[in-house]
A and B are shown apart, each in its own frame.
Chain A
Amino acid sequence: MFTSDRSRGSRLGRVLLAGIGAWLVAAPALAQQLREPGPGRRPGTIGLNMIVAHLSASPGEIDPRAAGLYRQLQKDFRYESVRVLEQRRLDLQLDQVGTMRLPTGRDMYVRPIEVGETGVLVRVEVQGAIKSRLRVQNHEMVVIGGLPYEGGRLVISLEPDY
């Protein structure tokens, strides 16, 4: 029994088509997986550590939870006390919007757009005040502040942890 060149060619074509089809389905997911960083990252999510704090020029306590934030601000600002109003971790998937209600009654929206070697590209909006797109390295802090609140200033820190 023999196989003709034509039927062999047809079988080869089917195998080739199936292979290309399988690659088309699997390659994007494979590529994404290979780029995934960090063992501490929950699969498919970007962790964002958020602190909402109140700064005051009046002498007082520095909330230990905001010690890192205060250290950063201390270089350029002269507030004497820091009170943490809210501390939260948001675990968001790419393109998922995380919302935080600020003490001012306004909402804050955070949405990771893309993650890569140079950090996470995140969209941040403080309702009525600011809209921004930030590229933040893992464990790098971004501080958004200056909103007047209770005689002092409201400050929000955001730190990716993934």
Chain B
Amino acid sequence: MSPTSRESEVLHAYHDGELGTLDRWRMKRRLARDPAARAELARLTELRRLVRELATARAAPDLWSGIAARLGSIDAGVATEPAASARTLASGLAGLRAWLRPLAAGALVAAAATAWLVFSAPTEAVNGGVVRWLYTKGKPVMVLEGGEDATIIWLLDETPGDQTGRRIPGVYI
């Protein structure tokens, strides 16, 4: 594995939400200073958007207009909540002495960041499961993910015939 492919691998994992907190943080730092990585991430995001568009293109138009209408009202409700919270927080802090403000804010930020680092679990891909990504250069492959059993990734021959001893009926091997 060349360094380039490894970096690309981590970037894919970041894009899929499979990295832990520290790795996500490292990747964000890398993205901040590496235009090529940003471009690659943008390509992945665009690809996902296109796939989603293709997947949703079949939905009925009236369904989407209904959803859009609901989203608008939900967004409006969400937008008012932070403003109200900020006002409450500001009025509470106003009573503090001037030299205490930065100390309190610093402590708050540090505590929140520590809690985030310690307790945030890695974000899992939506599909879950063992096999998160698989590439076989176009060769046929069979994946058996089985709960308490082992996960089996079985490369199939491209020529017909029972060459693997597979027992499951109806599967071309």
Contacts and interface: CB of A to CB of B under 8 A. Distances in A.
Question: Does A associate with B in a complex?
Answer: yes
Interface of A: 9, 12-13, 16, 19-20, 23, 27-28, 30-32, 34-35, 55, 57, 69, 72-73, 75-79, 95, 97, 109, 111, 113-118, 121, 123, 125, 129-136, 140-148, 153, 157
Interface size class of B (residues with CB under 8 A): 35 or more
Contact of A109 (B1, B99, B149, B157): B1
Contacts of A121: 13, 18-19, 132
Given A123-B9, A132-B153, A133-B132, A114 B139 contact: no
Interface of B: 1, 6, 9-10, 12-13, 18-23, 25, 99, 102-103, 106, 110, 113-114, 117-118, 121-122, 124, 128-137, 139, 141, 144, 149-157, 163-168
A118 B118 CA distance: 16
Contact of B153 (A19, A109, A130, A140): A130
B130 A146 contact: no
Contacts of B168: 76
Contacts of A145: 152-155
A19 B113 CA distance: 14
Nearest to B152: A143
Given A31-B21, A111-B1, A129-B136, A23 B114 contact: yes
Contacts of A34: 118
Contacts, number: 160
A130 B134 contact: yes
Given A28-B117, A57-B165, A116-B121, A142 B153 contact: yes
Nearest to A116: B122
A131 B121 contact: no
B129 to A, nearest CB: 7
Contact of B152 (A73, A97, A123): A73
Given A113-B9, A135-B130, A141-B151, A146 B156 contact: yes
B165 A77 contact: yes
Nearest to A80: B165
Contacts of A69: 150
When A and B form their complex, which 6 residue pairs have the shortest distance between CB atoms, in order from nearest?
A146-B155, A31-B117, A141-B150, A72-B150, A133-B133, A116-B122
Given A76-B144, A132-B133, A133-B133, A31 B118 contact: yes
A97 B6 CA distance: 10
